Structure 1
């Protein structure tokens, strides 16, 4: 298995929670993070080595990442595992899967690339690379079936992990926040490139909001110590050390549950916020050259997963030059104070949660076992440690 970032590690951990009891002696290895490690997964490289986003941001890291891909490919071609599962991270995984499938190794991909949003031509590459797709949105099944790619809709793992009714009081108690406090959670991203481009605008918005309401509390979850150090350096360099931020290690779900509103970088985290039924503002900034290319490649008017699933601008999206501290602060202020809007979002996000809810661990595990059996025409016999 390969997961290339924190969200993929979380999703892969859910799959392994269903698979490990079925294969108690299986050797689980590749590249992953702490959630996968809970099920005995061994990561041959730190997952952080792969964590980068953007067309141009990857250039300084390309040779290192390509070497990891080639070394892992050679290892897997020699080992011939019963199945390879790429978890999201299509830029890395699809290329690897194509080479493994060509060598007769069954390949699965968990979390389909957003071909329904942009770069739809990638489905031809997916057909060459993937033996079986595991998809997390119901409308994706038809897309892959029409392309002749075996597919199973397994629901979205986060819809099971996140409770239908989050416990706000418990989350605030855990973070030392008063139950009647007004709390804004700020999530500029987990990748270094995301922190680089989003931090100043996000914290600038917090500073403006603190001036409007000095009683506001700001919680900022950090995925790791490296990200926390870099974030702190960026805030200091911008002269914004006076913004009253409560940095916490991990605990992103606790921070979401505790929030009245969330400022979040576009990506899986925006769906997590929706499943926590929280008003939000979605924002994203990136290297200028990457933005100039990518802004012409989308098929839909939305980039945030909650809006894509709703087929509507449920929550604001402020991208690149539009994501100024003032614009972010104004949008968040509305999310905090418009009670009719907050009630509407609560209802729409609850409906969204129900639509994504399935026993993902069990259904994805059964799909994996089926592929393993079909690949050799025999009952799967996993390699033992």
Structure 2
């Protein structure tokens, strides 16, 4: 298995929670993180070696990442595992899956690449590379079936992990936040590149919000110690120290549960916020050249997952130059200060939660075992 970032690690751990009891003696290895390790997964390389985002941001790391891919490919071709499962991270995993499948090793891809958002031409490569696709959004099943790719809709693992009715009071107590003051969670991203591009605008918005409501509390979960240290360094270099932001290691779900509203970078975290039924503003910045290329490749007007699933702008999206501190602060204030909107949004997100809720661990594990059984039958028949 290969997961290239923290969100993939969390999603893969749900599959492993269903698979490990069925295959208690299986050797599970590849590249993954701490959540996968809880199920006996052994990471042959540190997962953060792969964690980079953006078309141009990857260039300085290309040789290292390609070297890891080649080394892992050679190892797996020699080992010939019962199945290879790529977890998201399509740029790395699909190329690896193509080579492994051509060599007769069954391949599964967990979380279909967002071909419905951009780069739809990848479906042809996917059909050659993937023996079976596991998808987490209901509308994806038909897309892959039409392309001739065996597919199973397994629901979104986060819909099981996140409670239908989050306990805001308990989360505030756990994080040491005051119950009688409103809370804004700041999530500029889990990757170092995301922190680099998003943090200044996010902190600027927080300062403006603090001016409007001095009693406002801020909480900022960081994905790791490296990210936390970098975030703290950025704060010390600005006039944001007086914000008194509570920086926490991990615990992003607790921060979302505790919040009245969330300023979040586009990505899986925006869906997590929706599952916590919280109003939000989605923002994102990246290297200019990467943004221009990706903007012209986009197939639909939405970037944030909550809006894509709703097929409309249920929450604001502010990207690149539009994500100024003033614009972010104004948009978030509207999210905080409109009770009718908050009620409607909570219902939309509750409906969304139900639509994504499946027994993901067991459905995905069963799909893996079915693929293994089919392969074993083919081998016994000499096919």
TM exceeding 0.5 = yes
SS of the equivalent of 1:229 reads: helix
Aligned length: 380
Kept in 2, the 8 Å contact 1:373–1:379? The answer is: no
RMSD (CA atoms): 1.1
Q: Distance in 1 between matches of 2:241 and 2:59?
A: 32
SS of the equivalent of 2:13 reads: helix
Other-structure match for 2:212 = 212
Q: Distance in 2 between matches of 1:331 and 1:34?
A: 35
Other-structure match for 1:258 = 258
Q: Distance in 2 between matches of 1:134 and 1:12?
A: 11
Unpaired stretches in structure 1, ≥5 consecutive residues: 381-385
Deviation at residue 378 of structure 1 after TM alignment: 6.8
Q: Give the TM-score taking structure 1 as reference length.
A: 0.97
Other-structure match for 1:163 = 163
Deviation at residue 180 of structure 1 after TM alignment: 2.0
Other-structure match for 2:152 = 152
Kept in 2, the 8 Å contact 1:281–1:328? The answer is: yes
Q: Distance in 1 between matches of 2:243 and 2:287?
A: 26
Q: Distance in 1 between matches of 2:375 and 2:67?
A: 28
Other-structure match for 1:383 = none
1:116-135 map, 5 Å? 116-135=116-135
Other-structure match for 1:227 = 227
1:45-56 map, 5 Å? 45-56=45-56
Q: Distance in 2 between matches of 1:378 and 1:362?
A: 24
Q: Distance in 2 between matches of 1:20 and 1:166?
A: 29
**1:73-119 deviation digits (Å, cap 9, x = unpaired):** 11111110000000000010000000100110000000001101111
Q: Distance in 2 between matches of 1:149 and 1:3?
A: 21
Q: Distance in 1 between matches of 2:182 and 2:379?
A: 56
Other-structure match for 2:179 = 179
Q: Distance in 1 between matches of 2:339 and 2:11?
A: 33
SS of the equivalent of 2:297 reads: coil
Q: Distance in 2 between matches of 1:217 and 1:291?
A: 32
Other-structure match for 1:61 = 61
Other-structure match for 2:103 = 103
Q: Distance in 1 between matches of 2:181 and 2:281?
A: 20
**1:14-33 deviation digits (Å, cap 9, x = unpaired):** 00000000001110000000
Deviation at residue 231 of structure 1 after TM alignment: 1.2
Q: Distance in 1 between matches of 2:225 and 2:170?
A: 25
Other-structure match for 2:25 = 25
Matched, 1:364 2:364: yes
SS of the equivalent of 2:197 reads: helix
SS of the equivalent of 1:85 reads: strand
Query: Which has the bigger relative contact order, CA under 8 A and spacing at least 6?
Result: 1
SS of the equivalent of 2:52 reads: coil
1:1-385 map, 5 Å? 1-377=1-377
Deviation at residue 234 of structure 1 after TM alignment: 1.9
Deviation at residue 147 of structure 1 after TM alignment: 0.3
Q: Distance in 1 between matches of 2:148 and 2:300?
A: 24
Unpaired stretches in structure 2, ≥5 consecutive residues: none
Deviation at residue 379 of structure 1 after TM alignment: 10
Q: Distance in 2 between matches of 1:230 and 1:186?
A: 15
Deviation at residue 232 of structure 1 after TM alignment: 1.4
Q: Distance in 1 between matches of 2:73 and 2:95?
A: 10
Q: Give the TM-score taking structure 2 as reference length.
A: 0.98
Deviation at residue 235 of structure 1 after TM alignment: 2.1
Kept in 2, the 8 Å contact 1:265–1:282? The answer is: yes
Distance 1:379 1:179, change over 3 A: farther
